[in-house]
Amino acid sequence: METQRIYLIGAGIIARQHAATIRRFPRSEQVVLSVADPNKQALAVFTEQYPHAHAFEDAQTMLAEPALENDIVIVATPPVTHYELASAALATGRHVLCEKPLALDRAQARQMLATARTHGRVLGCCSVRFLHWPPAEAARRLLQEDVLGPLYHVRFLCVEQRNRPGIEYQPGTAWFLDRTKSGGGTLMDRAPYEFGVLNDLLKPTHIEVLSAWLANPITAGMSPASERDVEQHAGASLRYHLADGTTCMLTYERASGTHSEAQSCVEITGLKGSIRWIWPHGFISNTLTHTYDCNGRVESKTISFPRPDPEDLRFGEKPLYYFYQYLQHQPSSAIVNEQALFNFSCIRAIYDCALSEQPQTVVLGE
């Protein structure tokens, strides 16, 4: 086995999840792990848990050694730093796996991919954690079997009343509530996973964001500045252009803080039937319901799934392991390069549409 080197930029909770994934690698004991973080306390906590890791106080020093062909750099820092750190790591001749959201805006994301191409490296995004949820895999199978017929509408709804990044979720992480550091609110934090799954299932060639809105419900726990700065409830109407030349509409809504009722539903509807399941974030369900016509009567069939096997890849292990598989030329669900840019651009286009009140178009491979 060629030496596998993993370089972590950032030593926080997410970085430790990535480090734990190394146990999944073949000959994991031979993987060389390095970590860089200017926060000495975070670095000390990391090295206490992973004493074999080489520790550095800055990424530039860590990446100063000559690159090897399969080196992986993981950017596990707040979004405001993703563009600069990922670009610098790519320029050293290393593959980069970046935490979600990929960047702050579409211009940064395009430039990151351009840098990866210039240096012949791969740019990946960590927005894969919800891929292969059992109901979504059942949905994939039914779509492949064409039991729904031509698709005309997709509904994604995930409304959580109090799961606000930086308040209920990871309280005290102030950058979540500062748009200049986070890039946005609930969309930037949660939608990378959601569009990762939707685009993986539907595989659009391009999308149009026809209308969009952002809202900040008045709630306790947020400063006046953050109430104005990051959205906690958002929605959009999108037209998906599919590979077979057909189109379907997507109605999208998500909230991390709202006065609306907590609810969740992912539903794909075609001319011959529909399938629906509950988005797992914040909701507990492991079933899928297929509804169709039977001689003029509405019939439904619910499929239940067992709990995941403890040996299955965990939520936090998927990004690095999928990326490693991709670089090893193995079958992989990694979201990389043009697909990573496309998925991120779908989310940014919702912001652009809401702020400009003008439709936006995103094309795969643009």
- 184 shares its domain with 106: no
| Paired tokens of 152 | 């005309």
State what percent of residues in the chain have pLDDT above 70: 98
**Residue 154: inside a domain, yes or no?**
yes
What average pLDDT does range 204-214 have in this prediction?
Answer: 98
Largest CA distance in the chain: 70
Q: Are residues 88 and 144 in the same domain?
A: no
Residues 35-79 have pLDDT tens digits of 999 999 999 999 999 999 999 999 999 999 999 999 999 999 999
Section 325-347 average pLDDT: 98
DSSP string, 85-124: HHHHHHHTT-EEEEPSS--SSHHHHHHHHHHHHHTT--EE
Q: What pLDDT is attached to residue 221?
A: 67
pLDDT of residue 312: 84
User: Domain check: are 156 and 248 in the same one?
Assistant: yes
Which region among 92-96, 175-179, 287-291 has the lowest average model confidence (pLDDT)? 175-179
Domain final position from 125, 155, 190: 125
The mean pLDDT value for 252-274 works out to 97
Of 86-90, 283-287, 327-331, the range with the lowest mean pLDDT is 283-287
Q: Which residues pair with 301 in a beta bridge?
A: 290
Tokens of 341: 């840019």
- Using the predicted structure, report yes or no on whether residue 15 has a pLDDT greater than 90: yes
Per-residue pLDDT, 219? 82
In this prediction, residue 225 carries a pLDDT of: 55
Q: Chain-wide mean pLDDT for the chain?
A: 95
Which CATH number do you get for residue 167?
3.30.360.10
pLDDT at 224 over 70: no
Residue 336 CA from chain centroid, whole number: 11
Domain that holds residue 271: 134-312+337-363
* 266 lies in the same domain as 155: yes
The separation between CA 144 and the C-alpha centre of its own chain, rounded to angstroms, equals: 24
CATH number of 50's domain: 3.40.50.720
Q: What is the CB neighbour count within 10 angstroms for residue 330? A: 10
**357 falls within a domain:** yes
Reply yes or no on whether the pLDDT at 196 is more than 60.
yes
Please give the tally of structural domains in the chain.
2
Residue 331 located in a structural domain? no
Question: Which DSSP string corresponds to 218-282?
Answer: --TT--HHHHHHS-SEEEEEEEEEETTS-EEEEEEEEESB-SSPPEEEEEEEETTEEEEE--STT
Residue with tokens 């031509």: 150
Section 315-340 average pLDDT? 97
Mean pLDDT of 152-176: 93
Do 153 and 111 have their domain in common?
no
Q: Identify whether residues 276 and 159 lie together within a single domain.
A: yes
Q: Is the pLDDT of residue 147 over 80?
A: yes
Beta carbons of 136 and 246 less than 8 angstroms apart: no
Indicate the pLDDT class of residue 228, thresholds 50, 70 and 90: low
Tell me if 250 sits within 8 A of 154, measured CB to CB: yes
Q: What is the mean pLDDT of residues 7-18?
A: 96
Instruction: Say yes or no: 247 and 105 in one domain.
Output: no
Type of residue numbered 302: T
The answer to whether residue 191 is domain-embedded is yes
Tokens 């805006």 correspond to: 105
DSSP secondary structure of 159-190: E-SB--BTTTBSTT-GGGG-HHHHSSSHHHHH
- Whether the predicted pLDDT of 159 surpasses 90: yes
The more confident residue out of 43 and 171 is: 43
Please give the pLDDT value at position 110: 98
On whether the CB atoms of residues 279 and 271 are closer than 8 A, the answer is no
Question: 358 and 254, same structural domain?
Answer: yes
Check if the beta carbon of residue 7 is closer than 8 Å to that of residue 71.
yes
